[in-house]
Structure formats: C-alpha cells, structure tokens
Amino acid sequence: MFSTFALILYLFLLAVFVGGIIVVIYHLLTFRLNRTLAWFMVTFLLLGAVLLLGINLFYFSQVDWGEVFQELVI
C-alpha cells in the first residue's frame, strides 16, 4: 500500500518536473530577445534537466523500497 502511494507520488513529481521544463522552454523560445542566446539557454536547460533526471532515477533505483516500507509498517 505504502509503496504504491510512494511510486504514484514519485511519478507525479517527475511529471511536474517535466511539465515545468516544457513551460520554461516554451517561454524561452516564445519571448526571446536573441535567437542564438535563446537556443543556447534551451540546450543548457535540457542538458541540466536530463542530467538531474538521470541522477534521480539512478538513486531511486538503488533504494531497496521493500525494506524501507517493511520498516514503516512495523
């Protein structure tokens, strides 16, 4: 029960993060002052977001969630 809730919460937070990145990219490209700088900023943002998501998913997969939630129930 707890593990399902935690996974749903994690997926929700990932969706909010990806949605936020999409909103930022939209605004960077729509209201740009300099085309070259806007593309540089979007590239920098995407590289940073992919790096952060990769690190997050790596550490998420390293946790033994069965043991964590077993200790919560007891």
Comparing CA positions, the residue from 6, 8, 20, 5 lying closest to residue 53 is 20
- Structural domain boundaries in the chain: 2-73
Q: What is the pLDDT of residues 31-65, one digit of tens each?
A: 988 989 999 999 999 999 999 999 998 998 888 87
Q: Tell me, what amino acid is at 7?
A: L
CB 74 within 8 A of CB 15: no
What are the distances in angstroms from CA 56 to CA 17, 24, 29, 37, 62? Answer: 12, 20, 27, 28, 10
pLDDT above 60 for 74: no
- Alpha-carbon distance of 6 to 26, in angstroms, equals 30
